[in-house]
Structure 1
Amino acid sequence: MDAAGLYRTVRLIRRFEERAIELVRDGTIVGGIHPYVGQEAIAAGTCAALRPGDVITSTHRGHGHVLAKGADPARAMAELAGRATGLNRGRGGSMHAADFSQGILGANAIVGAAAPIATGAAWAARRAGLDRVAVTYFGDGAVSQGVVLETFNLAALWRLPVVFVCENNGFATTTRVSEAVAGTITGRAHAFGIPASTVDGSDPEAVLHEAATAVERARSGGGPSLLECVAYRFDAHHTWEHAARPRYRTDEELAAGTARDPVEIQGARVAPDERARIDAEVESTLDLAVDFARQSPHPDPAGALDHLYADGLRARAGA
């Protein structure tokens, strides 16, 4: 992907999140979201290294990954708003969006729980003889979860084509990495013999470079890798903070952390007239997405028990 393409992705994610926050405030999106503002380079760079047939799994802070992998912004916004036209018919919401047609196997609200799903998909693809790579995202708060470490072990033991992407934004909710993680994040991967590197998670091209190397290694049979992408979360852990205003970082820290903006870093690599054109195109796309979400119907409560089983079996009321 060229510089302009990467810029379009980071700009789309940034404005999607900002528009979604507006919809939280006016009540269109109920329950709030976990904003991805500040981490756009990670989703943009990693997904740019993938082929259409590759798959990802995501986190509670997953809108950026979903958009970068190719989901329709209008259907993604409708999903956040709980509408029947959403990616998952309004049943997934902000933290469980999926689009199998784009290789998006789903976001997951459980910390670390998406790692074994992606690794299982990588195993299944290899068993089927498919030339497919799986990428799974998780935060710094997940690196001490047992399920993540168990997944590292199996992925390394079976040399599976999976790339682990740790989005280290400095905080697990409000707990600093330095207060929760003994040793290093890359050290956890090294303990299983998994190559790991620390990447500038604010620079889309730096992420793309490292991700392309890890993806090619996985695709060629070299096994798993881990990328620790260090970025800074510009906004709240969750939009409830906009009202509650917990004080776990100072204004000075916020100013320093937000000084390196992925949108501006990548935007500086694009000619001003082309950047203006992309900005206008993104804004038009999101105007349509917001209108689509607002005008779409809510799911019919009578169908609440539909789509629970893969084979189409309908759950019995009261069962």
Structure 2
Amino acid sequence: MAKSAKFSKIKGTNSDDEFQIVDPDFSYDGKKGVDIAVFHSSFDDFDFARKGTGNDKVTVTDSTGGIYEFKKVETLLFDNGTAQLDDDVYYSTATGATTRVDTQIAASAQDGGELFVGSGNSVNDFVVTQSESVGIELALAVKYRQGPSQDPVSVDADGTVHFQVNDGVQSTTNGSSSNNANRAAWSFDYSIATGLDGATTDLSDFTFKLLIDVDPTAGTEFRELTMVDHGGAIINDTGFVWIDQDGAPTISDDGGNANVAQNSENYAFGFIEDFIDADPNTPGQQPYAPGFGPAEFDIRLEAYDSGHNLIAANQIAVEVIDFV
């Protein structure tokens, strides 16, 4: 990536400014006021990366590698979508839902400042997708197991939010409260909330799918789980279990209620690890445990209405890097 010092710099006034974006390799400083940058092209042609250095710095890269840098610019307007940079809102034009990065889940999905499931599971630092029209929220978070949550490193044009974590087992080195050689270093949390914004719906009014990537390469091979009421005794307060493609119950211990379903999962759990071939180039299936080595995994949460139409989706990509 070219250094911003080589870019042509354009500064705004101390009032509201509108920047017309034409060519790449420019750096825009909105200064004071509420500022907007207008791209005469598709939202889908760009990737977003927040620098994390303060001052609302965001780097946008187009499909040809062209770079645009923004500082204190609140809104990017495209022909078919909007990125609201001041509060990390990215608009998913495919479903009309909005995705916020590194934020808190809905108040109704919280239990005394924690998730309904387990103890000490934070309600902060989630990637949150909401569809206000139907009152649902899909949220995903990445953390070191029994340790700190992780901040995203970038956002793709399609809304996929990227994270990086260390490989190996659960360790205090990563901030976990204890060592555990039987668990991967990191976990992911999911949270589903319904009945938001005055909606009278609950979990039973939608179909939810959880797709978990079991291909450690840059490709994807998803295990698709579906939340269902399978008619048997349910050991959790949601009234639902997750079944796999073969109809076998896979996750049955969600926390929540009639409107909320939440859990925390780890790649050492059998319903995930048993399906991972850690070395596809070697004949047979090579176990991912106990090393839990470098890999790339995508995790996707989807919501469908009664007509089987996709109404919201939240996808993250986790790069597991070699910890030296």
TM range (shorter): under 0.3
Name whichever structure is richer in strand by fraction.
2
Greater RCO, 1 or 2 (C-alpha within 8 Å, sep 6+): 1
Name whichever structure is richer in helix by fraction.
1
Task: Please give the TM-score of this superposition, normalised by the length of structure 1.
Answer: 0.27
Task: Please give the TM-score of this superposition, normalised by the length of structure 2.
Answer: 0.26
